[in-house]
Amino acid sequence: MNELSAVMLGAGATASLVASLFFLRFWRQSRDSLFLWFSVSFATDACTRLMLGLGHIADEQQPFFYLARLATFCFIIIAIVQKNWPRRNGS
Amino acid sequence: MIAAITYSLCALTAAVCAYLLLQAYRRGGYRLLLWSGLCFTFLTINNLLLVCDKLIFPQIDFSLWRNMSLLIALAILLYGLIWDTES
């Protein structure tokens, strides 16, 4: 990884953390689980990018870091579908 | 094998998230859904570049393009979050 990529990775991790805090605030205001999953997703993203940027992680170990991202994306999909499902049935 | 499945599923789930969010925006018109949908569109590109980087063209370094797509995704989302908060 070159220096520019490392800087961009750090900026991306920070931006993810900021987005996570925004969604956490929205969740506290509305108690909507979708916001909580967004917050968890972006916080996880920030952590994985930070760890990938800081550590010298072998290529074989990297997929396990991305499993966390995959799990949070799945939770977001479930939360969106759950949010829209009652509306579809109700109409 | 685990790497191929994980990276591909990351791209697929990000694409599904983008589709569902943009679809929800079309129905409801809530702007935050638009920004989130656009963010996930770029996150899909980010994850597709990850697939290219790690699986299809391992000899080429895509890290700069991957990080650039990530920054665009998050810049769009943060712009939306700040804009919607102020309005």
Instruction: List the single residue in A22, A63, A69 with the smallest CB-CB distance to B3.
Output: A63
Chain A residues touching residue B61 (CB < 8 angstroms): 1
- Which residues, at least 6 apart from A28, have a Cβ–Cβ distance to it below 8 Å? none
Between CA B13 and CA B17 the distance in angstroms is 6
State the Cα angle at B31 between A20 and A43, rounded to 5°.
Answer: 10
Give the model's pLDDT for residue A88.
Answer: 53
Could you count the other beta carbons within 10 Å of the beta carbon of residue B46?
25
Give the model's pLDDT for residue B87.
Answer: 47
Residues of chain B with pLDDT under 50: 87
Average pLDDT over residues A61-90: 79
Say if CB A15 and CB A40 are below 8 A apart.
no
Between CA A18 and CA A29 the distance in angstroms is 17
Write out residues 42-81 of A within 8 Å (CB-CB) of B: 49, 59-60, 62-63, 66-67, 69-70, 73-74, 76-77, 80-81
Q: pLDDT band for position A91 (50/70/90)?
A: very low
Give the model's pLDDT for residue B28.
Answer: 84
Give the model's pLDDT for residue B43.
Answer: 94
Q: pLDDT band for position A61 (50/70/90)?
A: confident
Task: Give burial (CB, 10 Å; 0-12/13-18/19+) of A86.
Answer: exposed
pLDDT digits (tens, 9 = 90+) for A4-49: 888 888 899 999 999 999 999 999 999 888 899 899 989 998 998 8
Between A31 and A56, name the one with better pLDDT.
A31
DSSP conformational letter for B60 = S
Chain B residue with minimum CA distance to A66: B6
Instruction: List the single residue in B2, B13, B85 with the smallest CB-CB distance to A77.
Output: B13
For chain B, give the number of residues. Answer: 87
Give the model's pLDDT for residue A62.
Answer: 76
Cβ-Cβ pairs closer than 8 A, A with B, add up to 75
Could you count the other beta carbons within 10 Å of the beta carbon of residue A48?
20
DSSP conformational letter for B56 = I
- Does B20 sit within 8 Å of A66, measured CB to CB? no
Q: pLDDT band for position A63 (50/70/90)?
A: confident
The answer, for B72 touching chain A at a CB cutoff of 8 Å, is no
Q: pLDDT band for position A89 (50/70/90)?
A: low
Between CA A67 and CA A73 the distance in angstroms is 10
Give the model's pLDDT for residue A1.
Answer: 62
Give the model's pLDDT for residue A87.
Answer: 57
The answer, for B78 touching chain A at a CB cutoff of 8 Å, is yes
